[in-house]
């Protein structure tokens, strides 16, 4: 396998792991309009900009939007951030796509005798 092919497979594996973690966490976390909790423990606000200034940043609400998408609550997800559901779908689509690319590259790789 060439160096470029190895780098491509490594990239696919890293993206697959990251996408699986993001989607998995969005399913396991619970959201409300006020914040997010994981396994019953409230998480502190993640936005440093909001903690320092008290103002919402352009990304405020994305975590809650992803968490609502993980619970298949589309209306709530869009109410938290209009871009959240779209990004969630794009990230979720990486799981089958990257899995297929890894499988395809392994099937194409020459097998040692």
Closest by Cα among 81, 91, 71, 73 to 27:
71
- Give the pLDDT of residue 44: 85
Count how many domains the chain has: 1
Q: How confident is the model at residue 1 (pLDDT cuts 50, 70, 90)?
A: low
- Residue 53, in any domain of the structure: yes
- Residue 113, in any domain of the structure: no
Instruction: Give me the domain span that covers residue 99.
Output: 3-108
Cα–Cα distances (Å) from 104 to 1, 6, 18, in that order, read: 13, 13, 20
At 18-71, the pLDDT tens digits run 999 999 999 999 988 888 999 889 988 778 888 889 888 888 899 999 999 999
Q: Determine the average pLDDT of the residues in 4-14.
A: 89
Contact 99, 55 (CB under 8 A): no
**DSSP character at residue 15:** H
The Cα–Cα gap between 59 and 15 comes to 21
- Residue 60, in any domain of the structure: yes
Q: What is the DSSP string of 29-60?
A: EEE-SS-EEETTEEPPP--HHHHHHSSPPTTT
At 73-107, the pLDDT tens digits run 999 999 999 999 999 999 999 999 999 999 998 87
- Residue 13, in any domain of the structure: yes
């Amino acid at each position: 396998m060439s160096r470029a092919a190895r780098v491509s497979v490594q990239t696919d594996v890293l993206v697959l792991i990251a996408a699986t973690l993001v989607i998995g966490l969005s399913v396991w976390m619970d959201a409300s309009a006020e914040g997010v909790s994981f396994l019953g423990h409230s998480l502190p606000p993640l936005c440093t900009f909001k903690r320092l200034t008290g103002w919402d940043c352009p990304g405020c609400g994305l975590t809650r939007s992803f968490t609502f998408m993980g619970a298949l609550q589309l209306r709530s997800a869009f109410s938290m951030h209009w871009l959240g559901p779209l990004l969630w779908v794009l990230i979720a689509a990486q799981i089958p796509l990257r899995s297929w690319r890894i499988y395809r590259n392994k099937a194409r790789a020459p097998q040692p005798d």
